[in-house]
Amino acid sequence: MTLTNLRTAPLHLVRQKDGIAIDLSPIQGFWTLEQYLKLTDSTSLLVEYTDGVIEVLPMPTDQHQVILLFLYELLRAFLPLKQGKILVAPLRLHIRDGKQREPDLLLVLDANDPRRQNRYWLGADLVVEVVSEDDPERDTVDKVIDYAEAGIPEYWIVNPIEQTITVLQLSDTNYRTYGIFGRGTYATSVLLDGFTIGVDAVLDAR
């Protein structure tokens, strides 16, 4: 079976051989963490989990993936692999009991960080999201709350819609805006001393 979903539409399981669909809306709110993990173990789709509810995220666009991989290569070159570890979605991140997200990019400064678990990470030092057009508030509002709750020290929001990169720094239990960087400027990291990148280079990545 394959899982299909639009965020604003009912959730269904669809059997590929005959197209028979089962409406899963009645069981939203009742998914267990183990069921969610088994589901995501068997699909290449991005699926997130909150208190018994699963959400299937839209397929990334070409622009989204090019931007993401451009950032990955730059961060990988900046941070020696023997010291830190950088991975891209799909990879589950534990926010709290009952909530799992799948950031576009996750980074830990120490490759031996015990939060790096095989099935999902228990935390990260920096996460990146490339804003999706289907629901910008998912990355600019919802995940700001979630990643702060998870204690992620730094959160980058790359927004092709607004042509900006926003860098958020954790202060106590909430994020403060370290900088909103537009075209013609350079985004800088708080956590990664010396890491600077041209906003135009990111947004125009091909």
Closest Cα to residue 153, out of 117, 187, 191, 189?
A: 191
104 and 182 fall within a common domain:
yes
Closest Cα to residue 195, out of 162, 176, 167, 175?
A: 167
Q: Which residues of the chain have pLDDT under 70?
A: 1-16, 18-23, 81-82
How many structural domains are present in the chain?
2
pTM score, whole prediction: 0.86
Main-chain phi, psi angles of 69, to 5 degrees:
-70, -30
| Residue 3, pLDDT score | 45
| Residue 30, pLDDT score | 86
Last-in-domain residue among 31, 56, 81: 56
176 and 197 fall within a common domain:
yes
70 and 23 fall within a common domain:
no
Tokens for 1, please give them: 């079976």
| Residue 9, pLDDT score | 46
26 and 67 fall within a common domain:
no
